[in-house]
Amino acid sequence: MNEQEKMQFFYEMFHSSLSRLGPGTEASTLKALEIVAAARPSPTTIAAGGRLRVLDLGCGTGAQSLILARQLGEKILAVDNHQPYLDALRRRAEAAGVSERIVPLLSDMRAMEFGEGAFDLIWTEGAIFCMGFLDGLVKCRKWLAPCGLLALTEICWLQADVPQDCRDFLLQLYPPTMDIAGNLAAIRERGYTVVDHFTLPKSAWSEEYYRPIEARLEVLREQYAGDSERLGMIEMIQAEMDGYRKYSDYYGYVFFILKR
- Residues found near ligand SAM in the complex (CB under 6 A): 20-22, 24, 58-60, 63-64, 79-82, 85, 108-110, 125-127, 130
As measured in angstroms, the least distance from the Cβ of 180 to ligand SAM is 20
Phi, psi of 248 (to 5 degrees): -65, -15
Q: Which is nearer to ligand SAM, 46 or 139 (CB)?
A: 139
Nearer to ligand SAM, 61 or 183 (CB): 61
Let me know the angle formed at the C-alpha of 37 by 34 and 41, rounded to the nearest 5 degrees: 155
Nearer to ligand SAM by Cβ, of 146 and 175: the residue is 175
Residue 51 beta carbon to ligand SAM: minimum distance, rounded to whole angstroms: 23
CB 145 within 8 A of CB 119: yes
The radius of gyration computed from the CA coordinates of the chain, to the nearest angstrom, equals: 19
Minimum CB separation from ligand SAM for residue 84, in Å?
9
Q: How far is it, in rounded angstroms, from Cα 79 to Cα 93? A: 14
Cα 223 to its chain centre, rounded Å, is: 29
Nearer to ligand SAM, 120 or 125 (CB): 125
The sign of the dihedral angle between the CA atoms of 226, 227, 228, 233 is negative
Q: How far is the CB of 61 from ligand SAM (least distance, A)?
A: 6
For residues 110 and 188, which CB has a smaller minimum distance to ligand SAM in the complex?
Answer: 110
Task: Name the helix (H) or strand (E) containing 20.
Answer: none
**Shortest Cβ 14–ligand SAM spacing (Å):** 8
